[in-house]
Amino acid sequence: MNHAVLNTEDYGHSRQQIVAQVPHINIRAFCDDERTVQAIQAAAADRRMARAHVQIHMGGIAGAVQVFQSELTPNVILVETRANRDIVLAELAQLASVCGPETKVVVIGHLNDVQLYRELMRLGVSEYLIAPVHQLQIIESIANLFHDPAAKPLGRVFAFVGSKGGVGSSTLAHNVGWYMSRQLNTDTVITDLDLAFGTAGLNFNQETSQGIADALGQPDRIDQMLLDRLLTKCGDKLSLLASPGNIERDLHVEASSVEVILSTVRNSVPCVIVDVPNMWAPWIKYTLMHADEVVITATPELASLRNAKNLVDLLRHGRPNDRPPRLVMNQVGIPKRPEIPVADFAKALSLDPALTIAYDAQTFGTAATNGQMLAEVSAKSKSAEAIAALAQALIGQEKPAKPAKFSLPFADKLLRKK
């Protein structure tokens, strides 16, 4: 155990770093409080715990001891206790006598006690959380148990999807990726999942390979070496995993293949932009549900509103521990076109737009025709400034409105009290 994490009600909203995926493991939880049961249930339903098998029981440490006298212990045991220090240590000694050598134990306690903390460290407890716990605390604690400290930090996956065809989602994704790499000096890979009609190569004026199609066709062979061969360099900090952009090759895409590819890419760069095509399939849903952030681009018209609402509702329900998707209203103010007012559009979705981009045929048209980015055509245009604002917000370089609340490691908390 590296540190004890102190609970705060705003824990989920205060986390800035990435909470990693939990591997294929078995987890047994023995609770003593209904609120803890609910937190573990919420954690088990989270996208980051999709590969783990979780069982929840009541009974605390004593219940775990009774069960594992006749059963093999799993990869991780979560035990909750309300007892004082001496009883906790005595019960954990009993649990240790029935635990397998590879089993990791996480204790959820109700005492903020430094001496207890030190004793737990001495006994080899993997983590100590103070109740009430937040579901993301649980996920993060378990993920950290299997994280290699020497490994590079995971990159973040930003999925861009349009509410309908032609709303400008791909253009937005490509421009944000370019800005992150060029202006924010961040290694970025743009992954174009539109196999038949992808435009990443065209928008960057690049002769691209079969990149993403080759990767999807052999996911079991994907590693960093193969990935490097499939990427098209667009500068020191930007690469494309481009689509073939033709309809000659039929390719059946599995969600598991997308998972392997995105996992490999995010292990190599800090930012992964995923250009998601405007279609629906299990692998599309998987990509959106498992991205770190989702950006929905919409135009102020009825079909776009209906589809955007469906996407927002799906993501809110399926990603309860993630921030809502970011909504970008694009092509606003086309002359003579009747439009749904942006305020009404946002009200229907219960989601304020992150950006509203006015119709700008000259800048967008010139960029598309020349294979350039908006900032290369007109760096001071409102469209380019909007792209910059979104890129900065996604990468965490926006100016916070007020200081964020956060959880302190146990030792830091003690130092602050001195």
Q: What burial class does residue 3 get, using C-beta atoms within 10 Å of its C-beta: 0-12 exposed, 13-18 middle, 19+ buried?
A: middle
Pairing, β 238-241 against β 232-233: antiparallel
Residue 413: band (very low, low, confident or very high) from pLDDT cuts 50, 70, 90: very low
The residue-averaged pLDDT of 3-13 equals: 44
Going by C-alpha positions, the residue among 287, 124, 275 that lies closest to residue 201 is 275
Element (H, E) at 190: strand 188-192
The dihedral sign for the CA sequence 291, 239, 371, 251? negative
Q: What angle do CA 277, 282, 286 make, to 5 degrees?
A: 80
The amino acid occupying position 78 is: L
Q: Which CATH class is domain 156-395?
A: alpha beta
Tokens 């397998």 — which residue? 100
Confirm if 115 and 85 have CB atoms less than 8 A apart.
yes
What is the biggest distance separating any 2 CA atoms in the chain, rounded to whole angstroms? 77
For 132-177, the pLDDT digits (tens) are 999 999 999 999 998 877 777 789 999 999 999 999 999 999 999 9
**Numbered ranges of CATH 3.40.50.2300 in the chain:** 11-150
Residue 24 near residue 256 (C-beta atoms within 8 A): no
| Beta-carbon count within 10 A of 393 CB | 17
Q: Is the dihedral of CA 273, 277, 279, 284 positive or negative?
A: negative
Across the chain, how many H-helices and E-strands are there? 18, 13
In sequence order, the 6+-apart residues with CB closer than 8 A to the CB of 222 are 215, 260, 261, 264
Order of strands across the sheet that contains 26-31: 53-58, 26-31, 76-81, 104-109, 127-130
Per-residue CA distances from 385 to 179, 302, 363 (Å): 10, 27, 12
Task: Indicate if the pLDDT at residue 78 is higher than 50.
Answer: yes
Residue 370 pLDDT exceeds 60: yes
pLDDT value at residue 322: 92
Neighbours of 377 (CB within 10 A): 19
Q: What is the pLDDT of residues 270-312, one digit of tens each?
A: 999 999 999 999 999 999 999 999 999 999 999 999 999 999 9
Element (H, E) at 30: strand 26-31
Closest CA to 393 of 179, 83, 128, 91: 179
| 282 strand-pairing partners | none
Could you tell me if 125 and 104 are in contact, meaning their C-beta atoms sit under 8 angstroms apart? no
What digits encode the pLDDT tens for the residues 371-394?
899 999 998 899 999 999 999 999
Q: How confident is the model at residue 326 (pLDDT cuts 50, 70, 90)?
A: very high
pLDDT at 195: 85
- 33's CB contacts (< 8 A; 6+ apart) are 80, 82, 131, 132
Per-residue pLDDT, averaged over 321-346, amounts to 95
Q: Which residue has the tokens 């103010």?
A: 333
Look at 66-75, 76-85, 142-151, 371-380 and tell me which has the smallest mean pLDDT.
142-151
| In the predicted structure, residue 11 carries a pLDDT above the cut 90 | no
Q: Are 40 and 78 in contact (CB under 8 A)?
A: yes
DSSP bridge partners of 54: 27
Confidence at residue 82, expressed as pLDDT on a 0 to 100 scale: 92
**Mean pLDDT throughout 347-352?**
96
Name the CATH superfamily housing domain 11-150.
Answer: Response regulator (3.40.50.2300)
What is the Cα–Cα distance from 8 to 133, expressed in whole angstroms? Answer: 8
Beta strands 127-130; 238-241: pairing state = unpaired
How does pLDDT run across 106-121, given as a tens digit for each residue?
999 998 888 888 888 8
pLDDT at 152: 74
Q: What is the CA radius of gyration of the chain?
A: 24
Phi (first) and psi of residue 356, to 5 degrees: -125, 120
- Measuring CA to CA, which residue among 120, 101, 162 is closest to residue 308? 162
Segment 222-255, tens digit of pLDDT? 777 878 888 888 889 999 988 877 777 777 888 8
Average pLDDT, stretch 96-115?
A: 90
Q: Are 389 and 328 in contact (CB under 8 A)?
A: no
pLDDT tens digits for range 18-58: 678 898 999 999 999 999 999 999 999 999 999 999 999 99
pLDDT tens track for 174-221:
999 999 999 999 999 999 999 888 888 889 888 766 678 877 877 777
| Whether residue 410 has pLDDT greater than 50 | no
Q: What is residue 61's predicted lDDT score, i.e. its pLDDT?
A: 95
pLDDT grade for 64, boundaries at 50, 70 and 90? very high
Cα–Cα distance measured from residue 59 to residue 62, given in angstroms and rounded to the nearest whole number = 6
Give 6's DSSP letter.
P
Flag whether pLDDT at 6 surpasses 50. no
CATH 3.40.50.300 residue ranges for the chain: 156-395
